[in-house]
Chains A and B, each alone.
Chain A
Amino acid sequence: MTSQTQTAEAGTPPPPQAGDAAQGLNIVARSQGQLIRRRFFRHRGALVGMVLFFLVVLLAVSSIGWGPIPGWWDKDATTTGTVTNGGDPTLSVVPGFLGGGGVHLGEHPFGQDNTGRDYFALTMRGTQTSLLIAIIVGLVSTLVGTVVGAVAGYFRGRTESVLMRITDVVIAVPTLLLAGLIGVIVAGHGILLFALFLGLCLWTQIARLVRGEVLSLREKEFVEAARSVGTPARRIIFKHILPNTMGIIIVSATLAIASAVLTESALSFLSLGVQPPDTSLGRLITDYRTALSVRPWLFYWPGLFIVAIALSVNFIGDGLRDAFDPRQTRVRD
Chain B
Amino acid sequence: MLVFIARRLFVSVWVFLVATVVVFFLATNIRDPLADARQLPDQARASKIAEITERMHLDDPALVRYFRWLGDLLTGNFGKDREGQKVNAALDHALSATLQLIIGATVIAIVVGITIGVISALRQYTALDQSVTFVAFVCFSLPLFWVGTLLKQFLALDFNDWLADPEISPLFIGGISLITGLGCGALVVGDRRTRWAVFGITTVAMVALLIALSASEWFADPGLGPIVIALTAVGGALGFTALVSGLEWKPPLQAALIAAALGVVASLALDPVLDDPQLITLLGLAVLTALICGAVGWFLGGELYRRSAIPAAVFTGLFTGAVIFTDRMFQSFADYSDSVGGRPISTIGAETPNYEGTFWETGLDSFGHLALPTLALVLISLATYTRYTRASMLEVMNQDFVRTARAKGLGERAVITRHVLRNGLIPITTLVAYDIGTIIGGAVVTEQVFGWSAMGSLLFKGIEEGDPMPIMAFFVVSGGAIVVFNTIADLAYAFLDPRIRLS
Expressed in whole angstroms, the Cα–Cα distance for A177 and B19 within the complex equals 12
Q: Say if the beta carbon of A120 comes within 8 Å of chain B.
A: no
A306–B444 CA distance with the chains assembled, in angstroms: 20
Q: How far is it, in angstroms, between the C-alpha of A172 and the C-alpha of B153 when the chains are bound?
A: 35
Contact sample, A vs B, 26 pairs, CB 8 Å cutoff? A165-B11, A165-B14, A169-B15, A169-B22, A172-B483, A173-B475, A174-B440, A174-B441, A174-B478, A175-B438, A176-B445, A177-B474, A177-B475, A181-B26, A185-B26, A266-B143, A269-B448, A289-B149, A293-B153, A299-B146, A306-B143, A310-B143, A311-B137, A327-B398, A328-B394, A331-B394
Query: How far is A171 from B448 in the complex, measured between Cα atoms in Å?
Result: 23
Q: Do A258 and B397 contact each other (CB < 8 Å), given the known contacts A176-B442, A181-B30, A184-B31?
A: no
Complex CA gap A318/B474 in Å reads 35
* A134 and B31 alpha carbons, distance in the complex (Å): 26
- In whole angstroms, how far apart are the Cα atoms of A292 and B23 in the complex? 36
A307 to B397, CA, bound (A): 33
A173-B19 contact given A272-B463, A299-B149, A328-B395, CB 8 Å threshold: yes
In the bound assembly, the distance between CA atoms of A182 and B459 in angstroms comes to: 14
Query: Which residue in A172, A178, A180, A314 is a CB contact (below 8 Å) of B140?
Result: A314
B433-455 Cβ-contact flags toward A at 8 Å (1 or 0): 00000101110110010000000
> Which B residues have a C-beta under 8 Å from some C-beta of A?
11, 14-16, 18-19, 22-23, 26-27, 29-31, 124-125, 134, 137-138, 140-146, 149-150, 153, 391, 394-395, 397-398, 403, 438, 440-442, 444-445, 448, 459-460, 463, 471, 474-475, 478-479, 482-483, 486
Q: Which A residue's beta carbon lies closest to that of B136?
A: A314
Q: Which residue of A lies closest to B397 (CB)?
A: A331
- Check A307 against B138 for contact (C-beta < 8 Å): yes
B15 close to A318 (CB less than 8 A): no
Contact B141 A258 (CB under 8 A): yes
Contact B441 A177 (CB under 8 A): yes
CB distance from A56 to the nearest CB of B (A): 13
Binding site for B on A (CB under 8 A): 45, 165, 168-169, 171-178, 180-182, 184-185, 258, 262, 265-266, 269-270, 272, 282, 285, 289, 292-293, 299, 303, 306-307, 310-311, 314-315, 318, 327-328, 330-332
Tell me the minimal C-beta distance from B267 to chain A in angstroms. Answer: 43
Q: Are B26 and A314 in contact (CB under 8 A)?
A: no
Which B residues are CB-close (under 8 A) to A292? 149, 153
Q: Is the CB of A180 within 8 A of B479?
A: no
Given contacts A172-B483, A177-B459, A299-B149, contact A266 B144 (CB under 8 A): yes
Instruction: Give chain A nearest CB distance to B438 CB in angstroms.
Output: 6
Bound: A37/B471 CA distance, A: 48
Partner of B445, one of A165, A184, A266: A266
Q: A165-B11, A331-B394 are in contact. Are A174 and B479 (CB under 8 A)?
A: yes
Tell me if A311 and B149 are in contact (CB < 8 A). no
* Set of chain B residues within 8 Å of A303, measured between Cβ atoms: 143, 146, 150
> Is B442's CB under 8 angstroms from A262's CB?
no
B473 CB, nearest partner CB in chain A, Å: 12
Chain B residues with Cβ below 8 Å from A330 are 124-125
Q: How far is the CA of A86 from the CA of B22 in the complex (A)?
A: 50
B29:A311 contact, CB within 8 angstroms: no
User: Taking CB as reference atom, which chain A residue is nearest B145?
Assistant: A269
Q: Smallest CB-CB separation from A286: which chain B residue?
A: B145
B23/A185 in contact, CB under 8 A: no
Chain A nearest CB: distance from B28 CB in Å? 10
- Give the one of B15, B143, B460 with max A CB within 10 A: B143
In the complex, A169→B145 CA distance in Å? 28
Query: CA separation between A180 and B442, bound complex, in Å?
Result: 12
